[in-house]
Amino acid sequence: MHSFGIAGAGLLGRLLAWRLARTGAQAQVFDAAAGPAPAFDAQGPAAFSAAGMLSPLAERDHADARVASLGWRSIALWRDIVAALPAPRPFFAERGSLLVAHRGDLPSAQRVLARLAGETRAAPEALDTAALARLEPALPPPAHAWLLPGEAQIDPLATLAALHAAAEGVAWHWRRPVAQALPGRLQFEGGDWAEFDCVIDVRGLGAAQSLPLRGVRGETVWLHAPGHGLTRPVRLVHPRHRVYLVPRPDDLLFLGATEIESEDRSPVSLKSAVELMSAAHSVLPVLAEARILRLDRHLRPALPDHLPRTVHEDGLLRINGLFRHGWLMAPALVQDALALLRQEVVA
Ligand SMILES: Cc1cc2nc3c(=O)[nH]c(=O)nc-3n(C[C@H](O)[C@H](O)[C@H](O)COP(=O)(O)OP(=O)(O)OC[C@H]3O[C@@H](n4cnc5c(N)ncnc54)[C@H](O)[C@@H]3O)c2cc1C
Q: Which string of b and e fits 19-47 if b means at least 16 CB within 10 Å?
A: bbbeeebbbbbbbbbeebebeeebebbbb
What is the spatial distance between Cα 1 and Cα 7, in angstroms, rounded to a whole number? Answer: 20
193-250, pLDDT tens digit by residue? 999 999 999 999 999 999 999 999 999 999 999 999 999 999 999 877 779 999 999 9
Which of 71, 73, 230, 46 minimizes the C-alpha distance to 142? 230
Number of neighbouring beta carbons within 10 Å of residue 273:
18
State residue 187's pLDDT score: 98
State residue 342's pLDDT score: 85
Give a three-class secondary structure readout of the chain.
CCEEEEECCCHHHHHHHHHHHHCCCEEEEECCCCCCCCCCCCCCCHHHHCCCEECCCHHHHCCCHHHHHHHHHHHHHHHHHHHHCCCCCCCEECCCEEEEECHHHHHHHHHHHHHHCCCCCCCCEECCHHHHHHHCCCCCCCCEEEEECCCEEECHHHHHHHHHHHCCCCEEECCCCEEEEECCEEEECCCCEEECCEEEECCHHHHCCCCCCEEEEEEEEEEECCCCCCCCCEEECCCCCCEEEEEECCCEEEEECCCECCCCCCCCCHHHHHHHHHHHHHHCHHHHHCEEEEEEEEEEEECCCCCCEEEEECCEEEEECCHHHHHHHHHHHHHHHHHHHHHHHHC
Residue closest by Cα to atom 16 of ligand 1: 326
Q: What is the dihedral of CA 182, 183, 188, 190, to 10 degrees?
A: -70
What is the spatial distance between Cα 125 and Cα 148, in angstroms, rounded to a whole number? Answer: 7
Q: For the structural domain made of 87-152+214-302, what CATH number should be given?
A: 3.30.9.10
Q: Domain ranges for the chain, please list them.
A: 3-49+157-211+307-346, 87-152+214-302
Q: Residue 159 pLDDT > 60, yes or no?
A: yes
Residue closest by Cα to atom 27 of ligand 1: 204
Name all residues whose Cβ lies below 6 A of ligand 1.
7-13, 30-33, 44-47, 49-53, 177-178, 202-204, 206, 218, 220, 256-257, 298, 300-301, 320, 322-328
Which of 312, 316, 307, 285 minimizes the C-alpha distance to 197? 316
Give the nearest ligand 1 atom to 299 CA.
53
293 CA to centre of ligand 1 in angstroms: 21
Sign of the CA dihedral running 344, 81, 52, 104: positive
81-126, pLDDT tens digit by residue? 999 999 999 999 999 999 999 999 999 999 999 999 999 999 999 9
Is CATH 3.50.50.60 the right assignment for the domain spanning 3-49+157-211+307-346? Answer: yes
21-71, pLDDT tens digit by residue? 999 999 999 999 999 999 999 999 999 999 999 999 999 999 999 999 999
Return mean pLDDT, the chain: 96
CA angle 234, 293, 153 (to 5 degrees): 30
Q: Average of pLDDT values for 151-156?
A: 98
17 CA to centre of ligand 1 in angstroms: 15
133 CA to centre of ligand 1 in angstroms: 36
Pocket test for ligand 1, best of 300, 318, 325 (most atoms within 8 A of CB): 300
Q: Residue 163 pLDDT > 70, yes or no?
A: yes
Number of neighbouring beta carbons within 10 Å of residue 92:
20
Pocket test for ligand 1, best of 6, 11, 254 (most atoms within 8 A of CB): 11
Give the nearest ligand 1 atom to 30 CA.
43
Q: Residue 345 pLDDT > 70, yes or no?
A: no
Q: Mean pLDDT check: name the lowest of 236-250, 252-266, 333-347.
A: 333-347
At residue 1 the predicted structure's pLDDT band, cuts being 50, 70 and 90, is low
